[in-house]
Amino acid sequence: MKAIRPENPADPVISLRGVTAELGSRPVLRGIDLTVHRGEVVALLGANGSGKSTAVRTVIGQVPVSGGEIEIFGTPRRRFRDWARVGYVPQRTTAAGGVPATVTEVVSSGRLSRARFGVLRKADREAVHRALAHVGMTDRAKDSVNALSGGQHQRVLIARALASEPELLIMDEPMAGVDLASQEVLAATLREQVAAGASVLLVLHELGPLEPLIDRAVVLRDGCVVHDGPPPAAVGQHALPGHDHVHPHTADAEPVRTGLLS
């Protein structure tokens, strides 16, 4: 499946060097270095406001950087065009928009990076079916996303990222607000992807059920890297099995969008 390209396989799939970024006038990243090598699973950890989501969003170009260099598959981000190789799961509590849409419709939009002019051929529809099967949502394919639970929304968002059959997965808090059953499905999905050779950059609030998969953890604090190495051992309450972490910031994370003003 993976295209052969004249790029050095030793190149990291993601490389940030001295990246700085501001939101408004507030510095959020103060020069971070972050590398994800081929086949590696890297977790980006840190407290709320430490800049972990911003770091990921600079990689996909959603947040402009004010300094430093970003490379994806060895290509400077500005010149990178091969987005079909990247699967992105944004931080969301819902996959729904303002109009009803079926699970298949939402997941199909993830295939647009491979479908020329937006025409979905047989191979594209099969890829969408495979992506739905990966997250165990085949039986809900024709249902409206509005009818899904929080964990199922997250499964749909991940299937959408998998629809382009990416080599690199970037996920922003994929476990936020997800029930245990869905967490296990998501961990299994990720395990399959890693076994198939995918590289993964994950933003996580805590390691949770994904811990055995993670090769390396990068911890941010106040926009600086304070740890880059093996995942830190869970301590205190976080170490307890079945520890139920509530994410108060994700419950209503969707900004209130009213009419024109959004």
Partner 1 sequence: MEILNYAFMQRALLAAVLVGITAPAVGIYLVQRRQALMGDGIGHVAMTGVGLGFLLSTSPVWMATAVAVVGSVLMELIRWYGRTRGDIALAMLFYGGMAGGVMLINLAPGGSNANLSSYLFGSLSTVSQGDVLAICVLAALVVLVTLGLRRQLFAVSQDEEFARVTGLPVRALNLLTAITAAVTVTVAMRVVGLLLVSALMVVPVAAAQQLSRSFAATFAIAVTIGVGVTLGGTVTSYYQDVPPGATIVLLTIAVFIALTALATPLARRRARAVAAATGGEAGATDCVLPEAAAGAGTAPQPAPEKVPDSRTPAPR
| Residue numbers 94-113 binding partner 1 by CB under 8 A | 95, 97-102, 105-106, 108-110, 112-113
CA nearest to 225, candidates 39, 41, 51, 25: 51
Given the complex with partner 1, which of 175 and 219 has the nearer CB atom? 175
Given the complex with partner 1, which of 168 and 217 has the nearer CB atom? 168
CB atoms within 10 A of CB 252: 9
Which one-letter DSSP state was computed for residue 60? T
Stretch that binds partner 1, among 47-55, 178-186, 193-201, 218-226 (CB under 8 A): 178-186
CA nearest to 160, candidates 213, 203, 113: 113
Exactly one of 31, 35, 60, 253 binds partner 1 (CB under 8 A); which one?
60
> Three-class SS of residue 26?
strand
Specify the length of the chain in residues.
262
Given the complex with partner 1, which of 53 and 189 has the nearer CB atom? 53
**Considering the complex, what minimum distance in angstroms separates the CB of residue 144 from partner 1?**
4
Which one-letter DSSP state was computed for residue 43? E
Exactly one of 6, 8, 142, 236 binds partner 1 (CB under 8 A); which one?
142
Count of residues of this chain found to bind partner 1 when the rule CB under 8 A is applied: 54
**Considering the complex, what minimum distance in angstroms separates the CB of residue 94 from partner 1?**
10
CA nearest to 72, candidates 91, 58, 93, 52: 58
**Considering the complex, what minimum distance in angstroms separates the CB of residue 229 from partner 1?**
28
CA nearest to 202, candidates 223, 172, 228: 172
92 contributes a contact to partner 1 by CB under 8 A: yes
Residues whose CB is less than 8 angstroms from the CB of residue 237 and which lie 6 or more positions away in sequence, other chains included: 243
| Residue numbers 223-252 binding partner 1 by CB under 8 A | 241-242, 244
> Three-class SS of residue 183?
helix
Exactly one of 9, 229, 248, 259 binds partner 1 (CB under 8 A); which one?
259
Which one-letter DSSP state was computed for residue 144? B
CA nearest to 213, candidates 42, 47, 53, 91: 42
| Residue numbers 14-43 binding partner 1 by CB under 8 A | 24
Footprint of partner 1 (CB under 8 A): 24, 57, 60-62, 81-84, 86, 88, 90, 92, 95, 97-102, 105-106, 108-110, 112-113, 115, 118, 120, 139, 142-144, 147, 149-152, 160, 164, 170, 179-181, 241-242, 244, 257-262
